[in-house]
Structure 1
Amino acid sequence: MNTTEERAGLRVTRIDQQGVSGSGTEEGVYDVLFDDRRIWSFWFLRDSQPAERSKSERLVPWPRSLVKYLDGTARIVVREHVDETVVFDDHISFGDSTGSISVTDREGRPLATDKTGELQRVFAGGDPRDRDALLDTIEDVLEGLREIGIEAFPAYGTLLGAVRNGTLIGHDSDADLAYVSRLTSPVDLIRESYRIDRHLRERGYSVQRHSAFAMKIYVEEEDGSERGLDVFGAAFVDGTLYVMGEIAADLDWSQVYPLGTTTLEGRTLPAPADADAWLEITYGPSWRVPDPAFHFGTPTSTRRRLDGWFRGTRRFRDDWDRYWNRARNRPKVGPTPFAQWVADAEPDADTVVDVGSGRGIDVLWNASVGKRAIGLDYSHTAERYGNKWAAELGLGAEFAMLNLCDMRSVLAIGAWVSRQPGRKAVTARLLTCSLDRRGRRNFWRLCRMIGRDGTCIYLQVVDPDQRGTRDDLGQRLLRPAPESVLVEEIEASGGRVRERQVQEPSGIAEPRYTWMVVTWEKYASASAQ
């Protein structure tokens, strides 16, 4: 081990399966390198806790996303981020493997943690062609927004990198734009945001809503993967500038508009009139000092106000994206027992709509037997891979996003599905197990819309004590309600459970399922009159 002379900063005493242990009295930001590549950064005092072994030591635990990689050997270097002073350098073995640790994704692409502690493909060491594709998209989106009177500019880490170094920040993983609206009412701001959304979709972009006042555009890279470009709304309300999703600050309109310019990777881009002031309200007065472990300390009052105005429509979405990203190998085309049961009950159905389609197993199978098959899911990852697999297999299956946290999405998708010609069947396999009460209420609203023509809704549900075995993430995402609660909610929304079957477990790890056929007959009768 090689360390520098004694200092008030971090003195590393141990690195093991738990994390980085050490002592010190001064705060500082440190990088952790595996075999000469930065993997993680932390603030020693802020991110540490008292170590169990010694009262004089503190432990900085490994990020949860990194733990699964800690099986093998690597040369670990810990160094101060700014001046790169090395405070630890040694080969460390973890777990039982004797091989080298490789922090990469399934395709072998290097990963590192971002400021949230999640492993991402950061810009450092990336393909220059991907960087150029992202910059091309930034310029095109800025031009598209100007077409509808929106003057946007790079924000957050993208503006920070441009002003500080003229480059994308190496430890960053996506790009950010922002605009400051001339409107002041939250309702008007939401309407304007959706106008921007529609315009970007018309330009051919894949857009995912972050909230009612922010969205993400997906940029495809050379290897077929995607990188995000966020578009955040901002506005002055009662004299305070609010920027989605972290900022409430005192700033003058004249410090934003008319826009100035900045340079990013050799390209001239717009910037706030006083870019330094904008960066100070974003990152504080020390924004010029690089900090890959930066955390936003958003005041509760700001978060609650932005939640109340614009958010509440993307609960657990990032978790679901991560969950389905683990299961991106193309599934075999074949029916689940539930899908086969529905097919036997609906031999004349022209269209089968699977709500909460996940990996799309049932959707792909229905398409393979000649049905018009539609998969609806909350996760962009699930939607993307579903459409990719359908194209690879030459199947006419269609996957789209449905957000049951967002009534606008519920009403739009409900109207679209309702207008599909011919006989329909709607399935939802374990969907209700992943919804809270509000999500279920919106799902019953969707079912009521679609069921007005007599369409049956087929549910597979499981009681809370019958979840089966799943990994930690899967368990956290499941919130099954008792069957009695589901029946009560269905009846309160005007539906009726017409048929119910209990399916005993087919294996030790399988739970006991209940299959239901639900109709909204009184609405179907009213529609027919």
Structure 2
Amino acid sequence: MPTIEFHMQLKVSSRGVRLVAIPRDVISLDVLFDGVRVWSIEVLKLDDPANAFLEWPEPLRPYLQGKSTVALRDSASQRTLAEAEHSFSDTGSAVSVVDDRGNRLAINKWGRLGKTLDGVDEAFQDRITARTVEIVGELQALGLRPFVVGGTLLGGVRDGTLLPHDDDADVAYLSEYTNPVDVAAEGLRVGHALTASGHYIVRHSATHMQLYFFAPDGDVDHYVDVFSAFYTEDGFLNQPFHVRGQLSMDQMLPFGTVSIRGVSFPSPRDPDAWLEINYDENWRTPIPGYKLETPRSTQRRFQNWFGSYNFHRDFWNEYYSRERPAAWNIAADWIRAQLEDSGSRTVVDLGAGDGAHTAQMAASWSDRRIIGVDYSYRAQKLSAEHDLSNLSFVHLNLYRLRSLGFTQLFDIQGAFDLSMNHFLEQVGAVARTNAWRLIRMSLSAGGRAVGTVYTKPAPDVKYQDPTGWHLTPHQLVTEAASFGISVEFQDLVVVGDMSTGRAPVGLVFSMADNDIDSPRERPSMRDRVRQVLRRAFLSADASELEELKQRIVELERDLDGYRRDSLRVAELLDLAEQTFAPSPVRTSTDGKLPYSE
């Protein structure tokens, strides 16, 4: 048995770990429970490597039951640097961080708990390798130029295998377009083609999709990311969501090859240069805890050009793996009372979640068609358990402009009602904008639209948890008015254990009497730049410089708006093509889950 030479101190508690005197040559640490990696820490990001305290990641905390030998390992050399025994509870058993199927789990690069390739068997890695070969072939058959990227390329170049701490495979295709509108429209078409060939698609943006592949029990077994890559006229290579940098066409084409688990895949001609753009100059050193830090300018550019269709979807997938709060049932009762005597024969429940409220409406109104919509595949899996003849659950992603075609997609005729139980305050601005449009469609068709919201935040509100978000009455009235909609508020009585102190209210929507204000014509971007430059040449004192900074901020916002216009054009082209050349709404091969997007 090899001798372990400890080089630092480790103190373990139920709150976290204290790291003392990390060796200077260590840039990444693995945290192991009884020899199994569960977490990795990028030392370069620590404020004080000589004495650092890190709390256990929140997703890991529910698993901290029992006792364990906690060890720290240098990610690069695999040498053990410190070790300590700790009992998190008195159960007597060993800490076990596994899923329901026995797969080992670890904190991934997004800070979530999931399968990683170093915790699965060879058969899993064989499946994901074979699937990557399949996807590359399908993209080539579509006339595209695919190549491996991200962790898949990194693992191949570094070790000729899949990256041990990764959880997927990454493939991109090099587009021939340079205009973001054309790139986005192409990305949407590629998604439709892959869907038509039988794949379950989850879209992150117009240029980033995930292809999910399911285990026999219906859970996701693995997935493959597919990205668009393209050159802009400034000569920069772009691969949303993260890569933007100088890489000449000669460094990209003609493609070279990289061997992964004995299989050859197309790769950039100069993979080292590509990897430095994607990561940094340290890409050759294993850093399992590495977090991509995309420059703000690149984030703004890509999100506005190509959207963010996956906003908080991972949160909701995890949320619907746990218990749901009964407090939402109070609001659901109020919604059903508001729609009880409606003359509409169809009710659409936005954000149906597990389908409990939707199913109650279907059971109460057997003569009406009830449709529950959501974009979380775990929510859809739960909702599929409800079996009523007048009830259906469908996929709808309100972060996509295409969602406005849902009446045709799902053959909704005449008036329809909208139910929104704590929906509006728990989605992002883009989805809420499209929800306002659906409300207007419902009211214009003669239906009713009602919802509930919290008007105060949760005491521990945070960006990562939408259930703690809120909308004030002023926000609701202002947003609704911009769409020609009026809002009536009704207090909801919540008592006893159901009370949260967050002032839930019921919302009844109607068309406003006043006309919708026509938007003012926006000056061209060239004119806006000229205004700022004119200001820049003035002899400015402190107040004028501050005004100039504010005008630059306004210019950035306008630039974001023009970029969003590019995405709207691409999505409208996609919506028109899908409308005038419609394809049937399909179900997956198991007959349960609909294809996503």
TM-score normalised by L of structure 1? 0.84
Please list the CA deviations of residues 31-87 of structure 1 after superposition, one character each: whole Å capped at 9, or x if unmatched. 11111211111133523548xxxxx63223332322332232111121212222212
Letter of the 1:270 partner, please give it: P
Counterpart mapping for 1:23-102 below 5 A: 23-24=21-22, 26-28=24-26, 29-47=28-46, 49=48, 57-95=51-89, 97-102=91-96
1:275 shift after superposition: 2.8
Corresponding pairs, count: 502
Letter of the 1:514 partner, please give it: V
Q: Which range is displaced more, 176-185 or 255-264?
A: 255-264
Distance 2:317 2:405 in 1: 22
Letter of the 2:31 partner, please give it: V
1:351 aligned to which of 323, 329, 346: 346
Distance 2:356 2:330 in 1: 7
Q: Which residue of 2 aligns with 1:514?
A: 505
Question: CA-atom RMSD, angstroms?
Answer: 3.2
Letter of the 1:161 partner, please give it: G
Q: Which residue of 1 aligns with 2:118?
A: 124
Distance 2:389 2:104 in 1: 33
Q: Which range is displaced more, 139-148 or 208-217?
A: 139-148
User: CA 1:145/1:384 → structure 2, altered by over 3 Å: closer, same or farther?
Assistant: farther
User: CA 1:384/1:232 → structure 2, altered by over 3 Å: closer, same or farther?
Assistant: farther
User: CA 1:83/1:436 → structure 2, altered by over 3 Å: closer, same or farther?
Assistant: closer
Letter of the 2:508 partner, please give it: V
User: CA 1:286/1:461 → structure 2, altered by over 3 Å: closer, same or farther?
Assistant: closer
1:257 shift after superposition: 2.6
Matched, 1:503 2:492: yes
1:176 shift after superposition: 1.0
2:6–2:82 CA contact under 8 A, matched in 1: no
1:436 shift after superposition: 4.9
Counterpart mapping for 1:52-451 below 5 A: 57-95=51-89, 97-226=91-220, 227-237=222-232, 238-327=234-323, 336-338=332-334, 340-342=336-338, 344-346=340-342, 349-368=344-363, 370=366, 371-387=368-384, 389-390=385-386, 393=387, 397-406=391-400, 408-413=401-406, 416=409, 419-421=411-413, 423-451=415-443
1:150 shift after superposition: 1.1
Q: Which range is displaced more, 335-344 or 296-305?
A: 335-344
1:96 shift after superposition: 5.2
1:145–1:151 CA contact under 8 A, matched in 2: yes
Please list the CA deviations of residues 309-347 of structure 1 after superposition, one character each: whole Å capped at 9, or x if unmatched. 223444333333332333499xxx99941354245223x
Please list the CA deviations of residues 162-209 of structure 1 after superposition, one character each: whole Å capped at 9, or x if unmatched. 233332222111111111211111111111111111111111112122
Q: Which range is displaced more, 140-149 or 311-320?
A: 311-320
Where does structure 2 lack aligned partners over 5 or more consecutive residues? 515-597
Q: Percent identity?
A: 30
TM-score normalised by L of structure 2? 0.75
1:366–1:372 CA contact under 8 A, matched in 2: no
Distance 1:73 1:181 in 2: 52
2:421–2:451 CA contact under 8 A, matched in 1: yes
Q: Which range is displaced more, 239-248 or 358-367?
A: 358-367
Distance 1:520 1:144 in 2: 48
Distance 2:39 2:158 in 1: 22
Distance 2:407 2:95 in 1: 48
Letter of the 1:413 partner, please give it: F
1:18 shift after superposition: 2.4
User: CA 1:440/1:305 → structure 2, altered by over 3 Å: closer, same or farther?
Assistant: closer
1:4 shift after superposition: 5.5
Please list the CA deviations of residues 188-243 of structure 1 after superposition, one character each: whole Å capped at 9, or x if unmatched. 11111111111111111121221222111111134432123111111111111111
1:486 aligned to which of 469, 473, 476: 476
Q: Which has the higher contact order (CA 8 A, sep 6+)?
A: 2
User: CA 1:475/1:129 → structure 2, altered by over 3 Å: closer, same or farther?
Assistant: closer
Where does structure 1 lack aligned partners over 5 or more consecutive residues? 51-55, 524-529
2:11–2:84 CA contact under 8 A, matched in 1: no
Distance 1:215 1:328 in 2: 28
1:420 shift after superposition: 0.7
Letter of the 1:260 partner, please give it: G
1:460 aligned to which of 435, 449, 452: 452
Q: Which range is displaced more, 35-44 or 438-447?
A: 438-447
Distance 2:153 2:362 in 1: 46
Letter of the 1:515 partner, please give it: G
User: CA 1:280/1:484 → structure 2, altered by over 3 Å: closer, same or farther?
Assistant: closer
SS in 2 for 1:464: coil
